[in-house]
Amino acid sequence: MVTDSAPAAPTPDSTGDTGGAAPVGAATGSLAVHDVEGPAAMAACADLYAEVMGLRPADGGLNPRLLAALQANGGILVAAYEGDDRARPIGFAYSFLAREADGELFQYSQLAVVAGDRQGQGVGRLLKYAQRDRTLAAGLTRIRWAYDPVKTRNAHFNLDVLGGRVTVLKPSMYGDEGFGDDTGEPTDRFLVDWNLTRPAPAPPELPVRAWYPGEVAADGGDLLIAVPARWDLHRAATGAQATAVLRSSLREAFTEALTTHVGVSCRRVTRDFAVYRFVPRPE
């Protein structure tokens, strides 16, 4: 998994499991989440990032010195390990201290990565809860990050599991084209805000009906937008040109929806489709 922030690989945690938080340094089963300490541990995290993202030499990567500087200046760097083995993280996440124009401070989570063979096992959830615990301990109540709107597993985890809210779409946030496994894909990103003091509410069930990609439908005052459940499979089946057209259509639909609504959910309705729910913005 990589939850974008700079990510773009599938997220591991679309399990819908909203079980209790695990504090930093606590173990769940054979997993333990700890603060990352020392250059070697930080280099191991950078190596895991390159592996999960499928980075090419020209794509660049993480610098352990950057991670050390972030951690020493208000940022958070945590990793998940199997038992006491601190040499090989199976996932990690980092965030840095950020500030709104009005002066409000929050954590911006730039990256959350889970090894491919451990995705879907709750590792990403433990990492996000560790970030939450550290953020609250610092007296802050909000974490923000970015993710690719068409990565519906990420979307479900961010919105339905954690209770984040999408308020902004940033077209081409990282330039015209992604890197690593996302080479050739645009870098449109949703910004999601996670209010750490608010539990994730359960949105209404989605209507049972047929869906087509890019469809926008009303459900009372809510807006529903259908997206292929697996973008990579949809792209392989329909071709690059067709997916580019769909991307453009979804960008327009999301942008229009966010002028009056907030994204609160993304759930799979069939094997092929997931549907976003946008609710009216509060007055």
Residue 7: pLDDT band (50, 70, 90) is very low
192 pLDDT above the threshold of 70: yes
Contact predicate 93/127, CB 8 Å: yes
- Which pLDDT score, from 0 to 100, does residue 141 have? 97
Q: What is the pLDDT of residue 102?
A: 96
Give 174's pLDDT tier (boundaries 50, 70, 90).
confident
pLDDT at 22 exceeding the cut of 70: no
Q: Single out the residue of 167, 180, 275 nearest to residue 227, CA to CA.
A: 275
| 24-28, 146-150, 179-183: range with highest mean pLDDT | 146-150
Distances (CA, A) of 27 to 10, 33, 34, 52, 177: 24, 6, 9, 23, 39
Note the pTM of the prediction, 2 decimals.
0.85
Q: Per DSSP, which regions of 171-260 are E strands?
A: 189-195, 216-219, 222-228
> Which pLDDT belongs to residue 272?
92
Q: How confident is the model at residue 187 (pLDDT cuts 50, 70, 90)?
A: confident
pLDDT at 119: 87
| Residue 177 pLDDT | 57
168-172, 176-180, 187-191, 241-245: segment of lowest average pLDDT: 176-180
